[in-house]
Amino acid sequence: MTIKVALAGAGAFGTKHLDAIKLIDGVECVSVIGRELDKTKEVAVKYGIPHVTTDLADSLALKEVDAVILCTPTQMHASQTLACLAAGKHVQVEIPLCDVLKDGEEVVSRAQGSGLVAMCGHTRRFNPSHQYVHKKIRAGEFGIQQMDVQTYFFRRTNMNALGQARSWTDHLLWHHAAHTVDLFAYQCGSPIVKANAIQGPIHPTLGIAMDMSIQLKAANGAICTLSLSFNNEGPLGTFFRYIGDTATYIARYDDLFNGKEEKIDVSQVDVSMNGIELQDREFFAAIREGREPNASVAKVLPCYQVLHQLEQQLQG
């Protein structure tokens, strides 16, 4: 059986999913939803997608659509996920699940007992670099003492990853911190019991903090220090340093190094070196096997509970 997918949000990230889908057997994108019809039609032509619309409801009304991948603005994630579930469609929503905790909790509540797969795009769980470390931890060969993480971008104007103007404002806490908050608890296999945050000045036109510092502690004693910035003129991206009891690992997206900057071969960790493809493979495998996926909305909800606590602190 071919799983037929609709993709909402044909921007910089949506096309990464379309590229991934082409590599996965038994999956076909049959509908694409975008804000601007002409640009979305261009994407549809490039990827051979028959149905194009600017309204998610049009795609949800298509009987042949089994599943939806949402790569839309953060502020729409929770409501669109609920719409997909209400239409009886499996759904993978890109990170973050929500930017208001109660909306995320409603998604989890609605997904439970629905018989549908509801997953959130916490890509770090799937990157081969982080999977390598995870397997070492599971085998009892490595224990995290501290994670030191830098999430750095240069985004003083509202641009996406392709340098194009964005229709929405990105967020250090609810989007970029979500990756690390979830990964830290996932890798430790231990819930976060303490979280602190401070932020820098609010940008006069974007209305968001451009710099932030977060400290986390897991129940098992491991700690995490996370630095985030939209002001950094330098190497861009997120850099993870795992300091452990037997080794040090440095993860840069899908690549991994030891503490001496010697590269570790992670090419055999999974069937691909592409974290987005591996994330999508898990989504479709969970649909086929009728099981809860890694990074289900229920499994990642604790991350958003921590983000909510941090937001309360910052507003206090």
Q: In Å, how far are 7, 9, 131, 244 from 227, measured between CA atoms?
A: 32, 29, 22, 19
252 has a pLDDT exceeding 80: yes
Residue with tokens 């451009």: 210
Q: How open is the CA angle 36-37-39, to the nearest 5 degrees?
A: 70
pLDDT for position 162? 54
pLDDT for position 205? 84
pLDDT in tens, 37-96: 999 999 999 999 999 999 999 999 999 999 999 999 999 999 999 999 999 999 999 999
pLDDT for position 159? 60
236 has a pLDDT exceeding 90: no
Q: How confident is the model at residue 254 (pLDDT cuts 50, 70, 90)?
A: confident
| Torsion sign across C-alpha atoms 21, 25, 27, 32 | positive
pLDDT in tens, 270-302: 999 999 999 999 999 999 999 999 999 999 999
pLDDT for position 67? 98
3-state secondary structure of 83: helix
pLDDT for position 163? 58
167 has a pLDDT exceeding 70: no
* pTM of the complete model: 0.94
312 has a pLDDT exceeding 60: yes
What is the chain's mean pLDDT, rounded? 94
pLDDT for position 161? 54
**N- to C-terminal Cα separation, the chain:** 52
Q: How confident is the model at residue 154 (pLDDT cuts 50, 70, 90)?
A: confident
Instruction: Enumerate the domain spans of the chain.
Output: 3-121+276-294, 127-269
166 has a pLDDT exceeding 80: no
Calpha distance 246→60 (Å, rounded): 50
> What is the average pLDDT across 169-198?
93
pLDDT in tens, 58-73: 999 999 999 999 999 9
DSSP per position, 31-77: EEE-SSHHHHHHHHHHHT-SEEES-HHHHHT-TT--EEEE-S-GGGH
pLDDT in tens, 192-224: 999 999 999 998 888 888 999 999 999 999 999
Q: How confident is the model at residue 165 (pLDDT cuts 50, 70, 90)?
A: low
Q: How confident is the model at residue 268 (pLDDT cuts 50, 70, 90)?
A: very high
pLDDT in tens, 92-146: 999 999 999 999 999 999 999 999 999 999 999 999 999 999 999 999 999 999 9
Q: In Å, how far are 45, 99, 122, 187, 226 from 304, measured between CA atoms?
A: 37, 8, 12, 17, 16
Q: Which of 90, 48, 43 is nearest to 70 (CA)?
A: 90
On the question of a cis peptide bond just before residue 96, with omega within 30 degrees of 0, the verdict is yes
Calpha distance 294→278 (Å, rounded): 11
Class of domain 127-269: alpha beta
124: amino acid identity, one letter: R
157 has a pLDDT exceeding 90: no
DSSP summary character for residue 157: S
Calpha distance 49→12 (Å, rounded): 17
Strands (E), the chain: 3-8, 27-33, 51-53, 67-70, 90-94, 118-121, 144-152, 192-199, 211-218, 223-229, 237-244, 248-252, 255-258, 263-264
Q: In Å, how far are 88, 205, 212 from 289, measured between CA atoms?
A: 17, 47, 40
**Fold (topology level) of 3-121+276-294:** Rossmann fold (3.40.50)
User: What does the chain come to in residues?
Assistant: 316
161-165: long-range contacts at Cβ-Cβ below 8 A with a sequence spacing of 24 or more? 161/12, 161/13, 162/11, 162/12, 164/11, 164/12
